[in-house]
Amino acid sequence: DMHGNAVALSGRDCSTQRHFQKIFEEGPPSIVPKATFTQMERAAQRLTQNLGYIGAGTVEYLYNAAENKFYFLELNPRLQVEHPVTEELTNVNLPATQLQVLMGIPLSNIPQIRNFYGKAPEDTTSPIDFMQDTYVYPTKHVIAARITAENPDDGFKPTSGKIERIKFQSSVSCWGYFSVGANGGIHEYADSQFGHIFAHGTTRE
């Protein structure tokens, strides 16, 4: 925020990729021990604080499970299309939080952030040390799947053509959105992704 604070809103695992493009993204990361993941969060917080970064961003790491070590990849200074995974895990509306931060409101004064740290609704003043205090660990698992127009018989190359039918019924635990509708199409210059499905449950299974 504008007051030098940085909060880590859990995390996501995007290991499942094809042609360097994410296919599935899920959270919280299940392969990383919690103690190591906390180190990753703290490192991300220190990075953004040292940069004087203000706003939402995603710090990405490579994780070596055999050695339990992680390596910095990049900082994406924006919301990513998988941000609903984080929102479902944390109950924090990221676009709304970003706007509040840019209005100059300290992170510790934002109700959804306080709730993420287990603060009661009537407690609006007790301090939060984002580098020391722990948040309420998510009680659910969330998975996002990209829906793409690709040809598996041709090395999963992007394909174009007409969409004859899209039928998907969202529910409380599974919802999706699509950039095309019935009688629409995907032209040859478009990205192969045309939809996203998000689902959550009490466990990964």
d(CA 107, CA 9): 12
In this prediction, residue 55 has a pLDDT band, given cuts at 50, 70 and 90, of very high
* pLDDT tens profile 78-113: 998 899 999 999 999 999 999 999 999 999 999 999
- Map residue 153 onto helix, strand or coil: helix
Strand partners, 140: none
> Would you give the distance in Å from CA 106 to the centre of its chain?
22
Percentage of the chain lying above the pLDDT 70 cut: 100
Strand partners, 69: 64
In this prediction, residue 18 has a pLDDT band, given cuts at 50, 70 and 90, of confident
Angle at alpha carbon of residue 84, lines to 200 and 22, rounded to 5°: 90
Angle at alpha carbon of residue 62, lines to 204 and 52, rounded to 5°: 105
Range list of H helices, 52-137 = 83-90, 94-102, 111-116
Q: Is 115 left (phi over 0), alpha (psi -120 to 50) or beta?
A: alpha
Question: How many Cα atoms occupy the beta-carbon half-sphere of 150 within 13 Å?
Answer: 16
In this prediction, residue 19 has a pLDDT band, given cuts at 50, 70 and 90, of confident
**Residues identified as active-site:** 78
d(CA 30, CA 75): 22
The answer to whether residues 30 and 103 touch, using CB atoms and an 8 Å cutoff, is: no
* pLDDT tens profile 37-53: 999 999 999 999 999 99
Give, for 199, the enclosing helix (H) or strand (E): strand 193-201
Give, for 17, the enclosing helix (H) or strand (E): strand 17-18
Closest by alpha carbon to 140, among 25, 5, 11, 27?
Answer: 27
Range list of H helices, 52-160 = 83-90, 94-102, 111-116
pLDDT at residue 100, as a whole number? 97
Q: Is the pTM of this model over 0.85?
A: yes
